[in-house]
Amino acid sequence: MNIGIIGSGNMGTSMGKIWAAKGHKVLFSFSKDQEKLRAVAAAAGPNARTGTPAEAVAFGELVRLSVPWAAVPEALKAAGNFAGKTLFSCVNCLKPDFSGLEVGTSTSAAEEIVKLAPGAKMVEAIPPMAQILATDTHRLDRQQISAFYCGNDPAAKASVASLLRDLDLNPLDAGPLTSARYIEPAGMPCVQLAFGMGMGTKLAMKLLRDRTDAERSYV
Amino acid sequence: MMKICVLGAGNVGGTLGRAWARNGHDVFFGVPLPGDAGTQELLRTIGSKVRAGTVAEAAAAGDVIVLATPWPATKGAIQAAGNLAGRVVVDCTNPLKEDFSGLALGHTTSGAEQVAEWAKGAKVFKAFNQTGFNIMGNPAFNGQRAVIFVCGDDDAHKPTVLKLAADIGFEAIDAGSLVIARLLEPYGMLWIHLALVRGLGRDFAFVLHRREKEAS
């Protein structure tokens, strides 16, 4: 798959490198430091290159948005027209001090983003911490981490789910795009534990379904 | 052993009360109609270490007051409980809209903060809003423990609430101050949405993984 990546922080680059290694074609964009961006693409190998956000959109069947919440309007303005594109957002509308979310409950970062990208087949997925994705294994306790995704276009969602599996994550369909109102804050307890409670960033949530009959019969 | 007042004897309150009674705590359900058939049947199936009374009677007797009411009944239950100043209150509610389609409050405040405003002076904690009653009965998944987050502002009593969760088999994690309920309530909403709207059913839970636990 051709993947355009807008955003050159830990999240965008660590995922992009893995997808490039898996055989996807990746175009990195949107950095204040073009040298750094070129170094990231070089490290990602022959399947990676750099360009502008508009080029990322033109190049990608799927466009990954992973910029800070405050940078979203600038990034989307630079990206131009998303009509018909799958837009895969990992943006959580974190306050700058990580103390909470800027918007929520009656709307979500995903729903606000798609207003700025009319016609996009928007999918949101909240992945584990970039610090986990930056290491060799994405498993904790040797188990896969769950990553929720949501959106309104089934084919676009299937693409995103497949990319999440490439990252050795356990993708979970949380429903339509309005589910972003839940999956965005649901990612926050881990952020709070890591940064608010000093537990460090090597933690994540997994959804468990397998249990023994004895465990299931609780009364 | 603690005296635990559980306000509400529905799925959540009934299951928590049963689990605590089984673990040696004294459980006192506070409900509007203690003599009704449902409550009496619950007491009968739990057996010992349990009784039921009015909300005011139960609230007067507990070391800890556990709020397990539907959101629309929560304000009334707190009012019926009387003066809660200085009491330990564990809020298990989600401020659900009546059709379960979302939260009635959020982000700039939370159900827990609203509860703290109503229960003047109480030491309010948020917990047990994040999974289903069936999981509260036994939070084990092939031996792994589901996680329950606890938040609240009273550090002196937080270990008590964490222990109550651990007593019934959860991994209990301190998530910080009461404002963190703004996160734990939508997180609870995700469980509800997956279970009831997405068709996952009730038999799933979240576990917290930490790399520190991993063999190196």
For chain A, give every domain's residue range.
2-216
Q: What is the pLDDT of residues A142-200, one digit of tens each?
A: 889 999 999 999 998 998 898 888 888 999 999 999 888 888 888 888 888 988 899 98
Structure confidence by residue, pLDDT tens digits, A65-80 = 888 888 988 998 999 8
- A29: its two tokens: 């964009």
Least confident of A31-40, A129-138, A190-199: A129-138
Per-residue pLDDT band for A219 (boundaries 50, 70, 90) equals very low
Determine whether the interchain pair B187/A203 forms a contact, defined as Cβ–Cβ distance below 8 Å: no
Calculate mean pLDDT across residues A96-124: 78
* Residue B54 confidence (pLDDT): 97
The predicted pLDDT at position A7 comes to 93
Instruction: Write down the mean pLDDT value for chain A.
Output: 87
Sign of the torsion angle spanned by Cα atoms A3, A8, A9, A10 = positive
**Nearest-CA distance from A58 to chain B in Å?**
34
pLDDT one-digit tens code per residue, B82-96 = 988 888 899 988 877
**Up-side HSE of residue B148: CA atoms within 13 Å toward CB?**
29
Task: Give the pLDDT confidence score for residue B216 in this predicted structure.
Answer: 36
Neighbour tally for A78: CB within 10 Å: 15
- The residue-averaged pLDDT of B178-203 equals 88
Give the total number of structural domains in chain B.
Answer: 1
Q: List the single best residue of A95, A135, A205, A207 to mutate versus B (max B Cβ within 10 A).
A: A207
Prediction ipTM score: 0.72
**Banded model confidence at residue B81, pLDDT cuts 50, 70, 90:** very high
Q: Which of B178, B190, B192, B197 is the best residue to mutate to test the A interface, defined by the most A CB atoms within 10 Å of its own CB?
A: B190
Q: What is the pLDDT of residues B54-79, one digit of tens each?
A: 999 999 988 899 999 988 899 899 99
Q: Do residues B171 and B148 touch, judged by C-beta distance below 8 A?
A: yes
CA dihedral (B36, B38, B40, B41) positive or negative? positive
Percent of chain A with pLDDT over 70: 95
User: Is A104 a residue whose pLDDT tops 70?
Assistant: no
Nearest to A206 among B186, B209, B212 (CB): B209
Alpha helices in chain B (DSSP H): 11-22, 37-46, 55-61, 71-81, 111-118, 133-137, 158-167, 181-192
Q: Which residues of A touch B137 (CB under 8 A)?
A: 218-219
This prediction has a pTM of: 0.76
By the CB < 8 Å criterion, does B101 face chain A? no
pLDDT of residue B101: 64
Q: Is CATH 3.30.70.870 correct for A2-216?
A: no
At B195-208, the pLDDT tens digits run: 888 889 999 999 99
User: What is the residue range of B17's domain?
Assistant: 3-213
The two structure tokens encoding residue B184: 């734990």
Residues in chain A within 8 Å Cβ distance of B141: 208-211, 215
Contact list in B for residue A171 (CB cut-off 8 A) is none
pLDDT at B214 over 50: no
- Domain containing B139 — which CATH number? 3.40.50.720
Tell me what pLDDT residue A100 has. 61
